[in-house]
Amino acid sequence: MSAEDFQNGQILLIDKPLKWSSFQAVNKLKYLLKNHYGLPKKFKIGHAGTLDPLATGLLIICTGKFTKTITEIQVQEKEYTGTITIGATTPSYDLETEINATFPTTHITKELILETTKQFLGEIDQKPPVFSAIKKDGKRLYEHARAGEEIEIKARKTTIYEFEITRIDLPEIDFRIKCSKGTYIRSIAYDFGLALQSGGHLTALRRTKIGNYSIKNAVTPEVFEKKMIHEN
């Protein structure tokens, strides 16, 4: 590819590494492309949907004129795989914060788990985690949370198209979910624990699809860099 190709617009499928922010991934590619192709300082590049640092998987990065398609890509349905750990909760609903409560799990059976997934199918009301980037009163929720401020979060409607349990090895439950834009999988992990009359938090998450774009066609930033050097 040439500098002109990237300025005209490309859709790049990146497999975001664990602990990288989506912003870091975009900055890494911006740096590589500008250095390699001598692109201008105001070169346009952005991602079509944030992934938490503790999640891996598909991050769509658009360049040049294709940055105009970001909104269109963001509204497409998404697919995730991951692990819910039952019997404990954390304030962030994932591993970002320490366990704050533990719950019994001896009553939980495979049948109960499979039956409980049915409650989550279709349109559901979901409260975003307090540790999220949504803004309230001019500040992001995680800023309120880290300051120890009590805040009221309104439930939002979201749609779960598919919820499949792929492995049960308590306290771990692996899943695959297909959902609408704006779904917080961390909230599903927390709510799933509650529905099982226990507690739950998310301990692994990977985004595998956004619309027709698949992780199968994505590369890590490291592989992207190697391919870019090799092609030229």
Active site (catalytic) residues: 52
With residue 70 as reference, give the H or E element that holds it. helix 70-74
33: which residues sit within 8 A by CB, 6+ positions away? Answer: 6, 39, 43, 45, 63, 228
Task: Output the CA torsion sign for 179, 54, 15, 23.
Answer: positive
Structure tokens at 66: 């294709």
Q: Name the pairing type of β-strands 88-89 and 78-86.
A: unpaired
Helix (DSSP H) and strand (DSSP E) numbers for the chain: 7, 13
Q: What are phi and psi of 150, to 5 degrees?
A: -80, 125
CB atoms within 10 A of CB 203: 18
Closest C-alpha among 55, 51, 10 to residue 29: 10
